[in-house]
Amino acid sequence: MCRDRRRNTILVSETVDPETIEVVKTYCWAAGTKVVMIPASAGLTDINALKELINAETAAVLIRNPNYYGCLEPAEEIAEVTHSAKAKLIMSVDPIASAILKTPREYGADIAVGEGQPLGMPLSYGGPYLGFMAASKDMMRRLPGRIVGETTDEGGNKAYVLTLQAREQHIRREKASSNICSNEALCALRAAVYMAAMGRNGMREAAQQCVSKAHYLQKRLEEIGFARRYEGEFFFEFVTESPWPASRVNAVLDKHDILGGLELPDGSILWCATECNTKEEIDRMVSILKEELA
C-alpha cells in the first residue's frame, strides 16, 4: 500500500514483536522491498536513529504501540519525523488498549493493523484468529481484504454489500489484493459480537482492568526483587530483571500450573496481566516465588 517505484524501503522498529518482524521480512523479500531495522533505546524506538535512517526512498515506518516490551511509544513524535520525509506511518495496536489510548489516527498513523484474538477468541493452540486493518480515506482503494459497506436496495431497505469489488478475486484473479477465507470471516463475526456485547463502556472497563492489574503485578514482583528494566508508561506488559535465572522462575511456576513470563534473550522476563487475572491469582504467584526461590 505504501511503496512505489521511488520508495522501496520499509523502516521497522526493533520494538515490534519478533514474529511480526519475520513475517514482514518474508513478504518484503518476495516483493523486492528493502527492510531496515530502527534500533531500540531504553525499550523504545530510537528517535535519533529514525531521523538518520529515514530518507526519500522510505515508503513507510512500522512501529507497535504499546510495543513488544509493553512500553508506550512516543508515537506522535515518530509520526512527525515520518511525515516530514513524506513516508507513511504504520502502527500495530492492541484492540483492548485502543479502548483507552488515543486512536492510531490521533497519534498520526496512516495505517493501523493488529491482532484480533483479544476480541473474544480463545487461544485454540494458535488459531484461527483474525487480523484487522484500517487506513486513512486517501488510501482506501489500496486496502487489501474484503470490505463490507452499507447501502440501500431498490426497495429502500438497508443492505450490506461488498464494496470496491474491482480488487476482489472473482474479478482481478491473480492480481487481487484480498484472500479471505471462511475461518477468518467467522472470527470477524465473533469479534463483532464480542464488541457489541461489551459495548463502549465494557471495552473501556476491560482496558482499565488490564492497566490496574498489570501495575499491581509489577509492584508485587518488585517487592521480591524483580526490578523493572524500562521506565515510562506501560499498558499490560512490562519487562523486569530477574534475581534468579528466568528458566528457574518459570519452572517453579509451572509446578503450580502457572504460566510465567516470557524469557527474553538477555535473561530478563516479559510479564503480562489482563482483565482475566484476579488479585488473588497475582498474590498467589508472588507468594510461590517468594517461598520457593528466596
The CATH code of the domain that includes 27 is 3.40.640.10
Reported as a single tens digit per residue, the pLDDT across 216-242 is 999 999 999 999 999 989 999 999 999
Q: Which class for 132: exposed (0-12), middle (13-18), buried (19 or more C-beta within 10 A)?
A: middle
Q: Which domain holds residue 70?
A: 9-142
Residue 258 is assigned to a structural domain of this protein: yes
Residue 6's pLDDT is 85
Residue 178's pLDDT is 63
Residue 165 is assigned to a structural domain of this protein: no
Same domain, 203 and 136: no
Residues pairing with 252 in the sheet: none
Residue 230's pLDDT is 96
Q: How far is CA 51 from the centre of its chain?
A: 23
State yes or no: pLDDT of 76 exceeds 70. yes
State yes or no: pLDDT of 85 exceeds 90. yes
Reported as a single tens digit per residue, the pLDDT across 177-205 is 666 666 677 888 999 999 999 999 999 99
Q: Given the C-alpha cell 480463545, which residue does it identify? A: 122
C-alpha 280/C-alpha 7 separation (Å) is 53
* Final residue of a structural domain among 94, 121, 142: 142
Cis peptide before 74, with omega less than 30 degrees from 0?
A: no
Same domain, 111 and 221: no
pLDDT-above-70 percentage for the chain: 93
Residue 156 is assigned to a structural domain of this protein: no
C-alpha 20/C-alpha 22 separation (Å) is 5
Same domain, 137 and 204: no
- Across the range 39-64, mean pLDDT stands at 97
pLDDT-based confidence at residue 143 (cuts at 50, 70, 90): confident
Which domain CATH number covers 228?
Answer: 3.90.1150.10
Q: Are 293 and 246 in contact (CB under 8 A)?
A: no
Reported as a single tens digit per residue, the pLDDT across 155-172 is 999 998 877 766 666 676
C-alpha 60/C-alpha 255 separation (Å) is 45
Question: pTM of the full predicted structure?
Answer: 0.90
Residue 230 is assigned to a structural domain of this protein: yes
Name the domain count of the chain: 2
What does the buried/exposed string (b/e) look like for 224-241 if buried means 16 or more CB atoms within 10 Å of the residue's CB?
eebebbbeeebbbbbbbe
Residue 71 is assigned to a structural domain of this protein: yes
Q: Which cell goes with 182?
A: 471462511
3-state secondary structure of 228: strand
